[in-house]
Amino acid sequence: MTIMKNADTTKSIARSTAMMSALTLISRVTGFIRTWAMAFALGNTILAASFSLANNLPNMIYELVAGGVLSTAFLPIYLQQRNTRSREEGNRYASNLLSLALIFLGVIALLASIFSPQVMLTQTLFSSNSSETVENAVWLFRFFAFQIVFYGVSAIFGGLLNAEREYFWPAISSVFMNLIIIVTFFAYPFVSSLSGQAGLLLLAIGTTLSIAVMACVQIPALVKAGFRFRFHIDLHDEGLHETVRLALPAILCTVINLVSLSFMNSCALHVAPNGPASVSYAWMWYQFPYGVLGVALSTALFTEMSDRMSRGDVYGFKQHLNMGLRTTCLLIIPMAAMLFVCSDELIGLYTAGKFTASDIAPIADLLRGWAFALPLYACYMFVYRAYSSLKNLKTVAICNLVFTCVQVMLYMLFTGVIAVPGFGSLGLVGIACGDIVFYGLMLVVLLAILVRRRGGFGLGKLVIACLKVTIATLIGGVVAELASWGIASVIDISNIFGSFIALVITGIIGLSIIFVMCRILGVSEVTDFAHRLVRRLGRK
């Protein structure tokens, strides 16, 4: 009976992951169009850097003050309340947390808007010649600050729906967000030609509205799932106390991560006045494979691992941990190789409007560096979810504190903030080098601690499977790189059309060879997931 139940759960996870991957793929495609629209409207300019700095801050502040509570601690506690008590108790706990979030985040957003210049100083630590960048960023952030409230509401809504195994609306909500921003960017050149200030106002209002819509489109699904919000505040709620206790290490992790992100933005601004914009354009593609494949898998398995631990099923937890790590590795490694091979073509897709061919090279170099970090990053993020389901983020926080110091020092060393005789700056690539070291150290140490405390969970077989997919990926990557060189000799990839043609041809060649080699070497996860995703996309 247990075997049949485990098989059904595995199939359910596979279906949920394939569905979320298909939906996230749609979201990421619209995300690319959004970033392309930004490149078209703003280019790789100082204004684009200002927009990137101002638009990143609301999510950073949300993560700082509430992200650890809402995105990490909420789901395990909500499931515990519902499973051990009743659905009504779960709803009461969720309503209490949502009520507190609305008040607390509203106050934080208002203060952030008022003290916008002081907040922006955290992103410009090493820059003395960027007054125009900072001035525009401060003005935009006065509006963007109110996104903080909607990020929090969206996180709670998504957690409630995930607990019901309803993954559609949390995954698709960002599509609505992207569509509004796309319209905003396409309208910007026309509005700004009439009035520059009106153009900035359009960016400020349109971007903030998009986050509000991302939260609100999930409400009908919540109502259908049976959630009824009742505004009330109970500071003595045991579930609230447990949430805060569980979230404290997550908050520490978030603070440390935001310090790292502030240093990354500051180092990018030190490299060039448009450095933050360059990072933003590369980041979109760096996150694309993980967003489509890794996030979907970790979201489904986080729910299952949390559920297993709430029932005391350690064996089931370890099964899902092994499945998640193995599948993450085997899906992300080929994507990382194609990211490296096709970096010029991917960045070349931005060439339109104010984004020119001369902007491609430095951004593509950063993307190539991040391709090496991608598998490490994806696996680390999954292990982070595993520790969260164990309600043990204290260990992660301690490791994060130690290794972020290393990461920040490497950022400053590799980007030239710290001058070392005989060692020149690597430019923006230095940021990627710091990330490779950081995620590698975090992954190895956290896995070693997990094995020591919880026992083995098949890491040996995982390593063998990773070696197989790495061999397949190297073969496919080399052939794809040769194909890319040949295509570049006959097609001009410095424009959007040439880049698109070269990307399609190179991508098909590389992924096809990797797919065939995986079948030959017996890596079933890659081929099985590809079949499921194609079938799911075919039904959309």
pLDDT in tens, 42-63: 988 888 888 988 988 888 777 7
Confidence of residue 530 (pLDDT cuts 50, 70, 90): low
Burial 511-522 (b: 16+ CB within 10 A, else e): bebbbebbeeee
The pLDDT mean for the chain works out to: 83
Predicted local confidence at residue 4, as pLDDT? 45
- Least confident piece of the model among 68-77, 172-181, 184-193: 68-77
Measured CA to CA, the distance from residue 325 to residue 321 in angstroms comes to 6
Q: pLDDT tens digits, residue range 68-122?
A: 566 666 777 777 777 777 777 777 888 888 888 889 889 989 999 999 988 888 8
For the chain, the helix, strand and coil percentages under 3-state DSSP, each to the nearest 5: 85, 0, 15
How far is 379 from 439, CA to CA, in rounded Å? 9
| Measured distance CA(253)–CA(248) in Å, rounded | 9
Task: For residue range 206-247, list pLDDT tens digits in order.
Answer: 999 999 999 999 999 888 877 778 888 888 777 777 777 777
DSSP 300-311: HHHHHHHHHHHT
Q: Is 86 exposed, middle or buried (0-12, 13-18, 19+ CB in 10 A)?
A: exposed
Q: Model pTM?
A: 0.76
Reported as a pLDDT band with limits 50, 70 and 90, residue 181 is very high
Between CA 368 and CA 372 the distance in angstroms is 7
Domain boundaries, the chain: 46-249, 274-287+294-540
In this predicted structure, what is the pLDDT of residue 402?
Answer: 93
Tens digits of per-residue pLDDT, 453-482? 877 777 777 888 889 889 999 999 999 999
Cα–Cα distance, 330 to 471 (Å, whole number)? 11
Distance CA 53, CA 206 (A): 16
- Residue pair 498/351 in contact (Cβ under 8 Å)? The answer is no
The closest of 212, 146, 127 to 174, measured between CA atoms, is 212
- Give the pLDDT score at 64: 66
CB neighbours (10 Å) of residue 409? 15
pLDDT over 60 (residue 162): yes
Return the pLDDT at 2.
46
Separation between Cα atoms, residue 495 and residue 367, nearest integer Å: 18
What number of other Cβ atoms are within 10 A of residue 44's Cβ?
24
